[in-house]
């Protein structure tokens, strides 16, 4: 199957805008975020020979109008979403925003049913109204821009109609079926591949962070894969740069993370006594496996990183604070230069560097996994490095889910 990538902008013309905006913003992010490399549009390579422009896509998603680039005709890989929560709905918006894709969404499984799925896809407190024609068709279907999507509501994945619908890839976004036996139920139901939108349980499921180790994907053996966590997707790209350039000895990470659905609106029962407390009223320290999970995609860092999370009363956008001891003596400008180089080469579209004095809301709906805040980079002595990076823990992560699904689809 041919692998379709984004259409490059015509020389001398601005990128064509897409009519169905998927994430509400007032400006294109290249200009809004104060990126130094705006003129050289960052690209992320899905494959070694083919690239697409992430900034072109994000500007298209946020522009008010313009012509839509025609999508190439090709046989598409049928995709289903299991669990239509924050990541499931963000995934659909991100997928809809792609000018060209190998993926075709044909089904959603969510216990809320079709009417709720349509409503929450169209109206979103963080993303704003979905500028697409979203309709409730009946109790078994919704439509997006005229395309009918089957909706089922079952808690047992083995009974899902994946074989009947020809589903090849399942986006497992319930947060429940994250081990081999659980995610394997989708395979039993007829799917060929499963992408888990969370850290997987068990060493039998490989973890991939797009831009870091996605080239290791083996289609002949990797039938269930994990896209790691949003924080690992932010952390791993720039940790990779720091380790390659300066050699990390050890370090710690703190993510100041927006509250999530796993917390309580008011004090209530929870297995984690801190997360049992009201999310919108407290700074809630809690655990995160993000730092240790970096070793799953960068094995040479096993045992060298650890960290924790501080959940704060904001609904979206988070920030990672990494402090590492390095072997090679360095200084702040050299660290930033290394990160800029990576952002303009191997990690285009995944990593970006900002020079503007911005705050969390300014990073809402950024496509990149990680935005380095260059003004906050510090070096103590000459071997203790501090790097701060912003990330949209929903939208940016969901873009990488689409990317990983595209990589899986490429081999089908």
State the catalytic residues.
230
- 305 and 298 Cβ atoms separated by less than 8 Å: no
211 phi-psi bin (left φ>0, alpha ψ -120 to 50, beta other): left
Query: Tokens representing 358?
Result: 């911005």
Query: Tokens representing 22?
Result: 């998927």
Three-state SS for 354-406 is: ECCCCCHHHHCCCCCCEEEEHHHCEEECCCEEEEEEEECCCHHHHHHHHHHHH
- 62 and 358 Cβ atoms separated by less than 8 Å: no
Cα 238 from chain centre: 15
Interacting residues of 12 by C-beta distance below 8 A, sequence separation 6+: none
Query: Tokens representing 12?
Result: 């001398």
- 320 and 235 Cβ atoms separated by less than 8 Å: yes
User: What is the 8-class DSSP label of residue 192?
Assistant: S
SS3 244: helix
Q: Alpha-carbon distance 92 to 373, whole Å?
A: 29
Is the four-CA dihedral 45, 46, 50, 56 of positive or negative sign? negative
Q: Alpha-carbon distance 6 to 230, whole Å?
A: 24
Interacting residues of 268 by C-beta distance below 8 A, sequence separation 6+: 276
User: What is the 8-class DSSP label of residue 299?
Assistant: G
If you count them, how many residues does the chain have? 412
């Amino acid at each position: 199957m041919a692998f379709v990538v984004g259409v490059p902008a015509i020389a001398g013309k601005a990128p064509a805008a897409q009519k169905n905006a998927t994430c509400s913003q007032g400006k294109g992010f290249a200009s809004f975020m104060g990126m130094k490399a705006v003129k050289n549009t960052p690209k992320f390579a899905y494959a070694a020979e083919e690239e697409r422009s992430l900034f072109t896509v994000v500007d298209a998603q946020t522009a008010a109008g313009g012509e839509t680039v025609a999508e190439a005709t090709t046989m598409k890989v049928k995709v289903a979403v299991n669990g239509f929560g924050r990541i499931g709905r963000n995934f659909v918006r991100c997928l809809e925003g792609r000018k060209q894709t190998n993926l075709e969404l044909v089904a959603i499984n969510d216990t809320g049913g079709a009417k709720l799925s349509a409503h929450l896809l169209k109206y979103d407190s963080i993303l704003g109204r979905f500028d697409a024609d979203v309709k409730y068709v009946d109790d078994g279907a919704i439509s997006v821009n005229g395309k009918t999507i089957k909706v089922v509501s079952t808690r047992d994945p083995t009974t899902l109609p994946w074989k009947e619908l020809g589903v090849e890839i399942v986006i497992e976004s319930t947060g429940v079926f994250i081990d081999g036996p659980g995610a394997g139920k989708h395979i039993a139901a007829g799917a060929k591949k499963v992408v888990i939108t969370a850290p997987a349980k068990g060493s039998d499921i490989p973890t991939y962070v797009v831009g870091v180790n996605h080239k290791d994907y083996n289609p002949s053996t990797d039938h269930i894969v994990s896209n790691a966590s949003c924080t690992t997707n932010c952390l791993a790209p720039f940790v990779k740069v720091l380790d390659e350039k300066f050699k990390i000895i050890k370090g710690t990470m703190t993510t100041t993370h927006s509250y999530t659905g796993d917390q309580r609106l008011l004090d209530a029962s929870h297995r984690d006594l801190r997360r049992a407390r009201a999310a919108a009223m407290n700074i809630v320290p809690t655990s995160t496996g993000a730092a240790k999970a970096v070793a799953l995609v960068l094995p040479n860092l096993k045992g060298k990183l650890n960290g924790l999370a501080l959940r704060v009363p904001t609904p979206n956008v988070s920030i990672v604070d990494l402090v590492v001891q390095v072997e090679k003596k360095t200084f702040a400008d050299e660290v930033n230069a290394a990160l800029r180089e990576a952002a303009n080469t191997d990690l285009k579209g995944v990593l970006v560097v900002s020079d503007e004095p911005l705050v969390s809301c300014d990073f809402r709906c950024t496509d990149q996994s990680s935005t380095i805040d260059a003004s906050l980079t510090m070096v103590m002595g000459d071997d203790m490095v501090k790097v701060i990076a912003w990330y949209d823990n929903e939208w940016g992560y969901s873009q990488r889910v689409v990317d990983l699904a595209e990589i899986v689809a490429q081999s089908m």
